[in-house]
Structure 1
């Protein structure tokens, strides 16, 4: 295949993924059709089906595309955190920071595609239909590495308390990703749900304190 034609096809494929990402973030899996995606991407419906086969195939491709980038960034952050730690290893705060920084403080909020992706992840993570299956598939291997690091930082932790603490962290992250605007109204405009950096700065100490309260030996 000639290089210009290859780039053209790749461009159309990316347009399909971008369109699907935006629509899925707004309407959810059941509210989106392949035809809607094709119309938004300005491509033939047959081309969307050619590249991804089905709506499920397209949904998986949308999740995988940025999951790979995100997981690489989080893995690098964890490795850097561990490499720079003292003889006792990284602290709970440092591990939580490595977990959250690539998602909330990397400038992704300035990119419309990443905003749509995180909104979609917020939906998936809280869905009884998709949460256990898709979050496990795309994110659990890396999450387990963070959990291993937290177990070392909190050696006396009851496993139940450790995993509940992660569950609460995941819930806070999901609500933050959703950008519902509720906190804007509740605070009379003093706080904005789009402020990912503001959320990050506060979530690290808040979550770390919760882990310590439940998991450190009293």
Structure 2
């Protein structure tokens, strides 16, 4: 799949440089670093250089601000994933398994490689939310489940005799692999003695894609024969 830059989220009035976007950018950075409970609206207001009342005017209470921050880039990732899947479907229907997995994962690589630091902050936030028993069931379900089901349908078409539960288990394991990758903790740096780097995103995704494909094939089987 050809690589392309990941888009920058727009502010409330459609301009990336307005005060609303500044509030979201600061909130994104703080939530990614400190989590939901470690951030106050007063801290956001101070670092964004705005009045506290302006945050309430634009975004409401903290929980609503958190949801808006999370949704902003989720929409872009979902759009990029679906565009990639549709492009693959235009070439072959059903879409080959590897193309499905690549369409799902490559946009995350593009996000992590982006020169926009906001995308790296968002990936850290995504890792936090996806591993949280509090926020994961709420925000991941609200903002990612519907597009994910489109991919499950594509997987079902190329693995027609597979039990539905197996597809969800394989997706679950893929989600774990990609979450650790976009968390970018640096653990693999020390573990490998410097042979691998958690910020070598192209290498990570070039290996994660065939790894995930092999997992789907082993658990589900191309024809459901296990």
1:64 maps to 2:74: no
Of the structure 1 ranges 171-180 and 142-151, higher mean CA displacement relative to structure 2 is found in 171-180
Counterpart CA distance in 2 for 1:23 and 1:208 is 35
Q: What are the within-5 Å matches in structure 2 for residues 1-218 of structure 1?
A: 11-85=18-92, 89-105=94-110, 108-216=113-221, 217-218=225-226
Deviation at 1:69, TM superposition (A): 1.2
Q: Is the 8 A contact 1:109 1:196 kept in 2?
A: no
Counterpart CA distance in 1 for 2:95 and 2:127 is 28
Counterpart CA distance in 1 for 2:116 and 2:109 is 12
Q: Is the 8 A contact 1:95 1:146 kept in 2?
A: yes
With the length of structure 2 as denominator, give the TM-score of the two structures.
Answer: 0.88
Q: CA RMSD in A?
A: 1.8
Deviation at 1:132, TM superposition (A): 1.0
Q: Is the 8 A contact 1:119 1:179 kept in 2?
A: yes
Q: Any runs of at least 4 consecutive aligned residues in structure 1 with deviations exceeding 4 A, and if so which?
A: 6-10
Map of 1:3 onto structure 2: none
Which one has a larger percent helix, Structure 1 or Structure 2? Answer: 1
Counterpart CA distance in 1 for 2:110 and 2:56 is 36
Structure 2 stretches lacking a partner, 5+ long: 1-12
Query: What does the per-residue CA deviation read over 1:41-71, in whole Å, with 9 as the maximum and x for residues that have no partner?
Result: 1111121121111111110110111111111
Counterpart CA distance in 2 for 1:170 and 1:11 is 34
Counterpart CA distance in 2 for 1:11 and 1:174 is 31
Deviation at 1:10, TM superposition (A): 6.1
Structure 1 stretches lacking a partner, 5+ long: 1-5
Counterpart CA distance in 1 for 2:26 and 2:16 is 15
Counterpart CA distance in 2 for 1:135 and 1:146 is 15
Of the structure 1 ranges 190-199 and 21-30, higher mean CA displacement relative to structure 2 is found in 190-199
